[in-house]
Amino acid sequence: MQDLPRSRYRQIKGALMKMPNVIGVGKGFKTTDGLETDQECLVVLVEKKVALADLPRSARIPPLFRGQVTDVVEVGRIKALHPKGSEAVDAQEAPVARNVRIRPAPGGVSIGHPEVTAGTLGAVVWNQETGEMLILSNNHVLADSSTLESGMPLNKVPILQPGVFDGGQIEEDTIATLYRFIPLHPGGLNRFDAALAKPL
């Protein structure tokens, strides 16, 4: 499944999503008799599993679809919940502190290079080539605007949560190391201000 080109995966996913009852498609591992195996497959999410005899041929998801193993999983009806009425949470009653130590660290919290006051953890993302989970933020937050010590390996640059301005300390609050960044050029044209950190 890792060898499946992204464009091919999108084509197959698109075809499956057009089938009735299919509400989602993803990559995963096949489950057999309630146990997850190590066989990679396309996980096809359906609202309700229906006996093959009750499905027209055009609506049946075969065990092998366009050369890819499938696993049909019933997930029920999926709906977005919107906080309203009695379910609404009053922000004044339940404030979310973004400048304190939070584990696991979500997007929006204080983070930073030790030489930076503090910035914001933008999002948790994945490296599509390696599958590694990474932290996305700005260069000026994680890489101190590209002002790293000459020759210092990126994996030796600690990233703190919370950032120093919010009380973060290297010994206690290092959650990641610098992974990659787009250089910033002082006085030049900079189209991006982005950097990645690798969680410890």
Global pTM?
Answer: 0.53
Q: Give the range of the structural domain holding residue 164, as residue numbers without chain letter.
A: 110-199
My answer on whether 56 and 133 are in the same domain is no
My answer on whether 66 and 125 are in the same domain is no
My answer on whether 145 and 64 are in the same domain is no
Q: Which of 123, 117, 126 is nearest to 160 (CA)?
A: 117
Contact 181, 143 (CB under 8 A): yes
My answer on whether 130 and 184 are in the same domain is yes
Q: Is residue 97 part of a domain?
A: no
My answer on whether 191 and 119 are in the same domain is yes
User: Is residue 165 helix, strand or coil?
Assistant: helix
pLDDT of residue 94: 45
Q: Is residue 48 part of a domain?
A: yes
Report phi then psi at 170, rounded to 5.
-55, -45
How many folded domains does the chain comprise?
2
Q: Is residue 60 part of a domain?
A: yes
Q: Which tens digits make up the pLDDT trace of 71-127? A: 999 888 766 444 434 344 444 444 567 889 999 999 899 999 999 989 999 999 999
| 110 vs 160: CA distance, rounded Å | 8
Q: Is residue 95 part of a domain?
A: no
Q: Is residue 86 part of a domain?
A: no
Q: Which tens digits make up the pLDDT trace of 170-194? A: 999 999 999 999 998 887 778 889 9
